[in-house]
């Protein structure tokens, strides 16, 4: 999998009540693609502060300009 398959500027974030997971989908040309799935149980085990930090950092790391600007990671 290439970085370009995951990195994007647009996302759809949804909570799937049936599967009990938070899904972060990449969106390209209006089409939802791959998703990162975070189980509710995993987020609960982390605690609210760590879970919020993890979700926020995950999204920041998926946006190419923020990945470079905030974290200093090359494209």
Strand partners, 35: 25
- What per-residue confidence (pLDDT) applies to 29? 85
Global confidence as pTM: 0.79
Tens of pLDDT, residues 21-54:
999 998 988 888 878 999 999 999 999 999 999 9
Return left, alpha or beta for 26; rule: phi > 0 is left, psi -120 to 50 is alpha, else beta: beta
Angle between helices 48-62 and 64-71 (to 10 degrees): 110
């Amino acid at each position: 999998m290439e970085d370009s398959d995951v990195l994007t500027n647009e996302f759809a974030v949804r909570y799937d009540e049936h599967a009990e997971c938070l899904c972060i989908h990449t969106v390209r040309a209006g089409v939802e693609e791959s998703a990162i799935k975070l189980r509710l149980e995993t987020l609960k085990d982390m605690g609210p502060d760590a879970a919020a930090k993890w979700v926020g950092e995950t999204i920041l790391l998926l946006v190419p300009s923020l990945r470079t600007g905030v974290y200093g990671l090359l494209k």
